[in-house]
Amino acid sequence: MAHFFTAAGIFLLSGVYAQPAPSVQSGITAAIKAASNATGSLDYTEFVNVYVGTDNFGDVCPGASIPFGMVKFSTDMTGYAPAGYVTDPTQFIRGLSPMHDSGTGSSLGTYGNFEIMPLLCPGGFDTCTTRLAARQRKRKPNTDVASPGYFAQTLDNGLRMEATATRRAGLERFTFPANSKPYFVLDLANDLPASFAGGSLDIDPDKGRITIGGRWGSSFGPGRFSYQAFACYDLLDGGAQKLSEYGVWTGDNFGLDAKGLGQKHLNLTLNLIGGVYQSGALFSYEGNPSTVNIRVGISFVSTDQACANAESEIGSSSFDDIHNKAKALWNDKLSRIEIDVPNTPANVTEMLYTSLYRASLTPNNATGETQGAFAGTSSFYFDSLYCSWDTFRTFYPLLSLHSPVEFAQIVDSYIDGWRKNGWMPECRANNLPGWTQGGSSADVIVGHFATHYHNEAAALGINLEELYSAAWTDGEVNPPEWNIQGRQSNVYNQFGYVPFAVLDTSSTGRQTREGSRTLEYAFEDFAIRQIALLLGKTDDEAKFNKRSLNYRNVWDPSVVSDGFKGFSQKRYSNGKFNFTDPKHCSPVDNVTTECSLQSDNTNGFYESSSWEYSWFAPHDTAHLIELMGGNDTFVKRLDHFFSAGYYQAGNEPSFQTPVGYHYANHPAQSVDRVRNVVFENFDITPAGLPGNDDQAAMASLLAFHLLGIYPVPSTTQYLVLSPFTPKYTIHNSYLGVSTTVNVVGFDAKSVQHTIPKGVNAYVVNVTINGVPSASRCHFDFFDVFRVGGNVTIELTSDKAAADSCLGALPESLSTGGFAKTR
Ligand SMILES: *[C@@H]1O[C@H](CO)[C@@H](O)[C@H](O)[C@H]1NC(C)=O
Ligand SMILES: *[C@@H]1O[C@H](CO)[C@@H](O)[C@H](O)[C@H]1NC(C)=O
Ligand SMILES: *[C@@H]1O[C@H](CO)[C@@H](O)[C@H](O)[C@H]1NC(C)=O
Ligand SMILES: *[C@@H]1O[C@H](CO)[C@@H](O)[C@H](O)[C@H]1NC(C)=O
Ligand SMILES: *[C@@H]1O[C@H](CO)[C@@H](O)[C@H](O)[C@H]1NC(C)=O
Ligand SMILES: *[C@@H]1O[C@H](CO)[C@@H](O)[C@H](O)[C@H]1NC(C)=O
Ligand SMILES: *[C@@H]1O[C@H](CO)[C@@H](O)[C@H](O)[C@H]1NC(C)=O
Ligand SMILES: *[C@@H]1O[C@H](CO)[C@@H](O)[C@H](O)[C@H]1NC(C)=O
Ligand SMILES: *[C@@H]1O[C@H](CO)[C@@H](O)[C@H](O)[C@H]1NC(C)=O
């Protein structure tokens, strides 16, 4: 998933704001410098800039979280802010809330329930500003401070809000001016997408506890579905604080602003006419304390479980204890990739650890917090998978290098989706099925796991036969409604492509994206083929192998654009093509129709142009090169694609294009291109992402680019490029191995947009544990990261000498590639 703007729209509003306090960046810079002299282990959290992606529609949540945390405490702001926080200083803060997603493209936002806002009410209880529009305030400029496991923001009236987190709970700390009476408003109904579907709130003044439960709607899925969520707010800080007044309130935009001092209960249903009947609790403290501590527990099961979660995960621990525990959990993840910090450009260190941070921030681990069809499941359960179409390309491949346990847990959750719903989830959001994008990209994710960890699968709790059945079902069984799961496999399997304007008498879904759905279905079929091959299912392997070549069936050899011939196009069931200008929905397109799931997207391609999607056959690029007219034309076409501005960095179909030169035996040109792509689209500022992070799809893409490798999903092949750091080690503690990549001849001067002449940057030799690699374009997981040891990547400044694979090209089905799994 990306954004809901037109292709052109994304570039309209990016601004450079300096909202995070200057101390955030200066602290990171100092920590990286100090690491040069450090003895002993490093604190990697100090290199992370949680604000990258909080501007320019990155939609990153900078909130306090642990790795894969179910809660992410952040403020919620007005304007376009799907993750709650944005840097834009013109926006207002509505409050601080425990649940968010990071990097999603939904226009209305996601979660933001159970929001609390500290208030000063000099006129007393009845004068408090409880309604959203009345209570919202601007921030005190340039005072926002956040880091892994910690979030703080100060309002323009001086009130400071801080939070730290465990998996399902957190501590909030509020600082008030001297001699003021602290007031708080706490929401029952509001959330970011204004989706309240009924719930209740109870105040227990003796316990100092407020419990809330209700139902809300999805951020990226059918509006008729809703999920349940519960919160438990403990207000007394173990008895150190004393409540003064308490009560409930309701409000709306039509003049309602009612308060009930001493009342303890609210029970409200869905407002059928639309809009949210705002409501919640209002309370104050005795004795003008300057600091107020509040403990928050969250659950998707019950209010009792929300309170129990706060009790078991926090108990009476202090804010600093919880913050330190969160930091330790982050260091455990971040230290799985260690780099030579002293000899790495500081921006690269910051970009890498910031990316690795976000690549363990989501999806949200809601194990034991299940509802609906998943209630009480014995499987792991992850919420906010968002779109597998985004994450299969780089997010799961990155996880596969160092974190098989976490990867297996998420795969377990995917397979459980098939068990409980009939198909694997594509875009689970807010515990609900979200919209499908390219089909069933989960097949590629579980295929990637199977190809890498089939030997360990059983020990990791994964039954490969079940995994295969789940992927097979996606490919073979047509769901009656494929907007939320599965694919339109009936007509695809009948015609060998998804026909445009076809009569489908047995299933429904939005009849768009026929070109890109065919390309994605074909690659998903390749993933199923890979698992079938692994499990010795010969007939299935042959069937899915053949089907994976269906990408050829939407290739129209007659379409010409800018002198290049042959493009993917949507096609009628009678075999005729329906012409779409290949530039349509590219960044330079100024047509105003939309390119995502909107009903005016008749382009045939999803969030992308035909120019871009025509590169997509990662399992058979050799044949694509033939279709395009041979290696030379392919390379010229790639060059033109970038120079004409058709490359759209902010969307996932573009991810693999910069490394395409490898397949035409020109790996040095991929090296140049990746340098351009990184320096044109990524940096260390809040606007430092080219589009939404898409559940860390962008983060993991950047991490691969900086490490100088690129994955081919659902295979164990990794393309080799030129690292941005002289040395790194990937630790895989489950396998008990570490792999160190030494970059011989590394020159920091090569780490810029255009590699200067005479500077080492191009890969001339690759050696794996002392043995020269059979190709300098790629290596295999089973020869490298599976066994550990030393990889040497030797660089030269002689680009011509390095511009061939000196051995096998990366594999393609049509040239005999992927003949066996390892
Ligand atoms: C690192 O150590 C050297 C030598 O002791 C010293 O001159 C330098 O200032 C130190 N750098 C930092 C960033 O602490
Ligand atoms: C809320 O009210 C409904 C009736 O409108 C009732 O069925 C439900 O039990 C009440 N829930 C709570 C938690 O009070
Ligand atoms: C998810 O939570 C469960 C339950 O606490 C835990 O066993 C598991 O290790 C967690 N997984 C991840 C990836 O955080
Ligand atoms: C292609 O489809 C569009 C509708 O999306 C239609 O208006 C147009 O006439 C079709 N063109 C051809 C050549 O079939
Ligand atoms: C897009 O805009 C450019 C300049 O603004 C113009 O030259 C071009 O014809 C337009 N293209 C389309 C398809 O409208
Ligand atoms: C492209 O180049 C490679 C390596 O030189 C060669 O094996 C392949 O046949 C060429 N492909 C085409 C379509 O010419
Ligand atoms: C580091 O990033 C900042 C912010 O994008 C940029 O201004 C600076 O030029 C970069 N420094 C280097 C050495 O690339
Ligand atoms: C690559 O390195 C290995 C090991 O040092 C060496 O044997 C081989 O000759 C080198 N190849 C090239 C082309 O430099
Ligand atoms: C890797 O290199 C290190 C240091 O050069 C050496 O100690 C180690 O034995 C090597 N490991 C392998 C598996 O070759």
Q: CA–CA separation, 409 vs 311, rounded Å?
A: 25
- Mean pLDDT of all residues in 732-746: 98
Pocket of ligand 6 (CB under 6 A): 625-626, 630-631, 664-665, 809
Residue 309 three-state SS: helix
Summarised one tens digit per residue, pLDDT across range 297-337 is: 999 999 999 999 999 999 999 999 999 999 999 999 999 99
Cα–Cα distance list, 583 to 489, 559, 594, 627 (Å): 28, 12, 13, 19
Residues contacting residue 99 through CB under 8 Å, at least 6 positions apart: 70, 71, 72, 111, 112, 113, 114, 229, 298
Q: Residue with structure tokens 């397949």?
A: 663
pLDDT of 457 above 80: yes
CA-269 nearest atom, ligand 2: 5
* Ligand 5 contacts CB of residue 590 (under 6 A): yes
- The ligand that comes nearest to the alpha carbon of residue 36 is 1
Report which of 299, 302, 309, 259 is spatially closest to residue 279, judged by C-alpha positions. Answer: 259
pLDDT of 150 above 70: yes
Q: CA–CA separation, 111 vs 106, rounded Å?
A: 11
Summarised one tens digit per residue, pLDDT across range 228-278 is: 999 999 999 999 999 999 999 999 999 999 999 999 999 999 999 988 899
Q: Please spell the DSSP secondary structure of 421-438, one letter per residue.
A: HSS-BSS-BTTB----SS
Quick one: CA dihedral 416, 698, 713, 791, positive or negative? Answer: negative
What's the pTM? 0.96
Residue type for position 125: F
Other beta carbons within 10 angstroms of residue 794's beta carbon come to: 18
**72 and 100 Cβ atoms separated by less than 8 Å:** yes
CA-579 nearest atom, ligand 4: 13
Backbone φ, ψ for residue 363 (5° rounding):
-70, 170
Residues contacting residue 576 through CB under 8 Å, at least 6 positions apart: none
Residue 279 three-state SS: strand
* Ligand 3 contacts CB of residue 227 (under 6 A): no
Report which of 801, 730, 729, 789 is spatially closest to residue 761, judged by C-alpha positions. Answer: 801
Cα–Cα distance list, 665 to 36, 625, 771, 773, 815 (Å): 38, 11, 22, 16, 14
Mutate to test the pocket of ligand 9, among 790, 791, 792 (most ligand atoms within 8 A of CB): 790
User: What's the pLDDT score for residue 592?
Assistant: 73
* Ligand 1 contacts CB of residue 34 (under 6 A): yes
- The ligand that comes nearest to the alpha carbon of residue 31 is 1
- Mean pLDDT of all residues in 625-631: 98
Summarised one tens digit per residue, pLDDT across range 192-216 is: 999 999 999 999 999 999 999 999 9
**29 and 346 Cβ atoms separated by less than 8 Å:** yes
Q: Whose CA is nearest to atom 6 of ligand 2?
A: 267
pLDDT of 685 above 90: yes
The rounded Å distance from CA 695 to ligand 3 centre is 18
The rounded Å distance from CA 664 to ligand 2 centre is 66
Query: Mean pLDDT lowest for which of 214-223, 298-307, 411-420, 782-791?
Result: 214-223
Q: Whose CA is nearest to atom 7 of ligand 5?
A: 590
* Ligand 3 contacts CB of residue 68 (under 6 A): yes
**88 and 687 Cβ atoms separated by less than 8 Å:** no
User: What's the pLDDT score for residue 1?
Assistant: 53
Q: Residue with structure tokens 């001297």?
A: 178
Query: Mean pLDDT lowest for which of 214-223, 619-628, 789-798?
Result: 214-223
- Mean pLDDT of all residues in 560-585: 97
CA-770 nearest atom, ligand 9: 14
SS3 track for 164-211: EECCCEEEEEEECCCCCCEEEEEECCCCCCCCCCEEEEEEECCCCEEE
Catalogue all structural domains in the chain, each as residue range(s) with its CATH number: 22-54+62-332 (2.70.98.10), 361-815 (1.20.1610.10)
- The ligand that comes nearest to the alpha carbon of residue 749 is 7
**69 and 383 Cβ atoms separated by less than 8 Å:** no
**Confidence band (pLDDT; 50, 70, 90) for 811?**
very high
The C-alpha angle 746, 749, 753, rounded to 5 degrees, equals 115
CA-751 nearest atom, ligand 7: 14
Q: Whose CA is nearest to atom 14 of ligand 6?
A: 630
pLDDT of 87 above 60: yes
- Mean pLDDT of all residues in 698-720: 98
Pocket of ligand 2 (CB under 6 A): 200, 267
Summarised one tens digit per residue, pLDDT across range 342-393 is: 999 999 999 999 999 999 999 999 999 999 999 999 999 999 999 999 999 9
* Ligand 1 contacts CB of residue 33 (under 6 A): yes
CA atoms within 13 A of residue 744's CA, in its CB half-sphere: 10
* Ligand 4 contacts CB of residue 578 (under 6 A): yes
Question: Between these two residues, 711 and 41, which has the higher pLDDT value?
Answer: 711
Structure token digits, residue 372: 């609906």
Q: CA–CA separation, 174 vs 353, rounded Å?
A: 30
User: What's the pLDDT score for residue 594?
Assistant: 83
DSSP 460: T
Q: Whose CA is nearest to atom 8 of ligand 2?
A: 267
The rounded Å distance from CA 789 to ligand 7 centre is 33
Q: Please spell the DSSP secondary structure of 536-555, one letter per residue.
A: T-HHHHHHHHHHGGGGGGGE
**Bridge partners, 187 (sequence order):** 280
Q: CA–CA separation, 365 vs 177, rounded Å?
A: 37
pLDDT of 14 above 60: no
SS3 track for 747-762: CHHHCCCCCCCCCCCE
**517 and 432 Cβ atoms separated by less than 8 Å:** no
- Cis peptide bond upstream of 363, omega within 30: yes
Cα–Cα distance list, 668 to 636, 702, 768 (Å): 15, 19, 20
Residue 733 three-state SS: coil
User: What's the pLDDT score for residue 6?
Assistant: 33
CA-347 nearest atom, ligand 7: 1
Helix (H) / strand (E) element for 495: namely helix 489-495
Q: Whose CA is nearest to atom 14 of ligand 1?
A: 34
Q: Whose CA is nearest to atom 2 of ligand 1?
A: 37
**Confidence band (pLDDT; 50, 70, 90) for 12?**
very low
**521 and 498 Cβ atoms separated by less than 8 Å:** yes
The rounded Å distance from CA 168 to ligand 1 centre is 42
- Mean pLDDT of all residues in 464-486: 97
User: What's the pLDDT score for residue 128?
Assistant: 98
Q: Is 10 exposed, middle or buried (0-12, 13-18, 19+ CB in 10 A)?
A: buried
The rounded Å distance from CA 319 to ligand 4 centre is 62
Structure token digits, residue 439: 């089909």
Q: Residue with structure tokens 């890109």?
A: 516
**Confidence band (pLDDT; 50, 70, 90) for 602?**
confident
**Confidence band (pLDDT; 50, 70, 90) for 17?**
low
Residues contacting residue 199 through CB under 8 Å, at least 6 positions apart: 188, 189, 212, 213, 214, 215, 267, 268
The length of the chain, given as a count of residues: 822
pLDDT of 18 above 80: no
Helix (H) / strand (E) element for 566: namely strand 564-568
- Mean pLDDT of all residues in 621-634: 98
Structure token digits, residue 665: 């035996």
Q: Whose CA is nearest to atom 14 of ligand 2?
A: 267
Q: Residue with structure tokens 């694509």?
A: 624
- The ligand that comes nearest to the alpha carbon of residue 784 is 9
Q: CA–CA separation, 284 vs 445, rounded Å?
A: 50
Summarised one tens digit per residue, pLDDT across range 428-441 is: 999 999 999 999 99
CA atoms within 13 A of residue 140's CA, in its CB half-sphere: 14
Q: CA–CA separation, 17 vs 62, rounded Å?
A: 15
The rounded Å distance from CA 569 to ligand 4 centre is 12
User: What's the pLDDT score for residue 601?
Assistant: 86
Structure token digits, residue 630: 């041979």
Residue 32 three-state SS: helix
Question: In 747-806, which ranges are continuous DSSP H helix?
Answer: 799-802
* Ligand 4 contacts CB of residue 602 (under 6 A): yes
Q: CA–CA separation, 207 vs 649, rounded Å?
A: 53
- The ligand that comes nearest to the alpha carbon of residue 789 is 9
